[in-house]
Structure 1
Amino acid sequence: MAMHPRPASVYGLPTDIGAAHRGASMGPEALRVARLVEAIAKRGVDIRDEGNLGGPRNPLSKPVDGYRHLDEVVAWNRAAMSMSARILGEGRMPIMLGGDHCLAMGSITAVADHCRAIGKKLRVLWLDAHADFNTRDITPSGNLHGMPVACLCGLGPKELVGLGKHAPALRPDQIRQIGIRSVDAGEKRLVREYEIDIYDMRYIDEIGMRRVMEEVLDGVDADTHLHVSFDVDMLDPGIAPGTGTRVPGGVNYREAQLMMEMIADTGAMGSLDLVEVNPALDKRNATAKLAVDLVESLFGKSTLMRD
């Protein structure tokens, strides 16, 4: 689909406030070092780098009432929400560089408010090894990067569920999860109860990535805002070792390329999160470089002779 790409603005959230491992705080810089901004510009996109936002440091404290670092997580997510809202208000595409995946609560809440305000349909593609649908009652750790989807759907502390103008920010039927292969026992029950649409690795193996993406993108039209929330741990750790919660058996390079190209073909992507790149666990920044490569495909770079 030939269309002029919409302008975009990148911003970083250098924190690992919601994660178990330190180091995702270095993700935004690792992505810049891998020339993310230049790669997007090369696709003909008018792109600005807004730099990094600040927020509270990681106190490394134990969970309180089932949540670790709740006040700090709220502060970082408010920052993400207001920045994404500002960028959307300028008619641009927000690209949030994490940091850990708890930060998607802020970016997605801003997108959900924006879509309600302009009367657009919203579909969230959650690309991840994990369903991130924990609550304080079932979490094994209290780490909030395991809870953002639950919070966005109304299950969580009121400070996070009520971040935006509407609570909950999302309905479960607006979410498609792809690449899932690690779900806690309590989470399994909840995602079934909430009828979250999950395309796990077994399903991808059974029917193939092309048919999975056809199902995921079914009904996406000119009136749809696609939000892509890309956790690099969706990818197989053999190609993306630089992330804190590695799970074997993930999406391979060719599957990931096809996924991104099919998303690009819709012309509907309106916002993007790129999270959980942890250069402290990486080999020569390979994970950030691979993420940049895949983002180029999201912006229309084809691996084939179709350009």
Structure 2
Amino acid sequence: MNKNISIVGVPMDLGADRRGVDMGPSAIRYAGIVARLEQMGLNIEDKGDISVNRPHRYMETENHKYLDEVVEANAQLATVVSQIMQEGRFPLILGGDHSIALGTIAGVAQKVRDLGVIWFDAHGDLNTGETSPSGNIHGMPLAASLGYGHERLVQIGGYAPKIKPENVVIIGARSLDEGERELIKRIGMKVFTMHEVDKLGMARVMDEAIDHVSKQTQGVHLSLDLDGLDPHDAPGVGTPVIGGISYREGHLAMEMLADADILCSAEFVEVNPILDQRNHTAQVAVALMSSVFGDKLL
């Protein structure tokens, strides 16, 4: 794995209903991510945060809250991520709500033509303006990256689609809207719900997921929403869903990704310190990051 890591924070909470996740990058830094990775011998560059415009109230455009601001921030992020990739470094993006995946994937896919994606999440994030029950854009980034949804979201970075459905795996899903279920079936996307995780075990799920995203790709992006974990282990998230991935299962998944050595980029999102307990969820995020970069007990 690339040992030259560039960290970028995206203090974005406009894609979600609940405020506070914009403080996620600060919470993760406070939990010691830079020191932890440097202790592992990695070359860390912290590029600071993307600037996010925060209006006092949202203007809703066709069931897309804060559309202008979300597009602007993600366009910035796509440019920064693309430059990091151009320099031969590994972009590690700290969220912020999951709408920031729009910019991360746009930037990575500019440099990795056939990009695979492993999407750890309780949700599918496959809504569009037509299917979203809330208008929150953090429920739309995977759909938009696949080419479905509002043209301004789909075209972030100036091209679409960024990824192909056959190169994507969702892991840990347990809350899907009707429109998302229909899209998954229509495009044939690979999804390991918590039913499969419970039935097969995380080791087999990861073996199959890694095999699936490695077949026709030149690199794999990891998008990890902390609400993919059970709220008992990650309480500081805006949309918790009980019955999720355990702390130990999460570590196993990250360790197996490290062993597979397929990742070219990663983002960790939806840490909300306002809803957290003594920054516990940010500490979990840091621990998972260390595992995905190869930290081992022995």
Q: Which bin holds the TM-score, normalised by the shorter protein?
A: over 0.9
Preserved CA contact (<8 Å) 1:13 1:96: yes
Preserved CA contact (<8 Å) 1:236 1:247: yes
- Give the secondary structure class of the aligned counterpart of 2:111: helix
- Give the secondary structure class of the aligned counterpart of 2:169: strand
Shift of 1:159: 1.2
The equivalences for 1:29-108 within 5 A come to 29-61=26-58, 63-108=60-105
- Give the secondary structure class of the aligned counterpart of 2:112: helix
d(CA) in 1 for partners of 2:56, 2:187: 33
- Give the secondary structure class of the aligned counterpart of 1:178: strand
d(CA) in 2 for partners of 1:167, 1:11: 24
Which residue pairs with 1:144 in the alignment? 137
d(CA) in 2 for partners of 1:62, 1:237: 32
Preserved CA contact (<8 Å) 1:222 1:268: no
d(CA) in 1 for partners of 2:134, 2:203: 35
Gaps of 5+ in 1: none
d(CA) in 1 for partners of 2:166, 2:39: 35
Query: Considering only aligned residues, what root-mean-square deviation do their CA atoms show, in Å?
Result: 1.5
Shift of 1:165: 4.3
Which residue pairs with 1:125 in the alignment? 118
Which one of 3, 7, 10 corresponds to residue 6 of structure 1? 3
Gaps of 5+ in 2: none
Aligned length: 297
Matched, 1:187 2:180: yes
Shift of 1:237: 0.2
Matched, 1:197 2:190: yes
Which one of 219, 230, 244 corresponds to residue 225 of structure 1? 219
Which residue pairs with 1:178 in the alignment? 171
Matched, 1:245 2:245: no
Aligned identity (percent) is: 43
Q: Which amino acid aligns with 1:144?
A: I
Which residue pairs with 2:19 in the alignment? 22
Preserved CA contact (<8 Å) 1:59 1:69: no
The CA deviation string for residues 161-202 of structure 1, in whole angstroms up to 9 with x for no partner, is 111243111111111111111001221111111212111100
TM-score (normalised: structure 2): 0.96
Shift of 1:6: 2.6
TM-score (normalised: structure 1): 0.93
d(CA) in 1 for partners of 2:57, 2:292: 35
Preserved CA contact (<8 Å) 2:28 2:283: yes
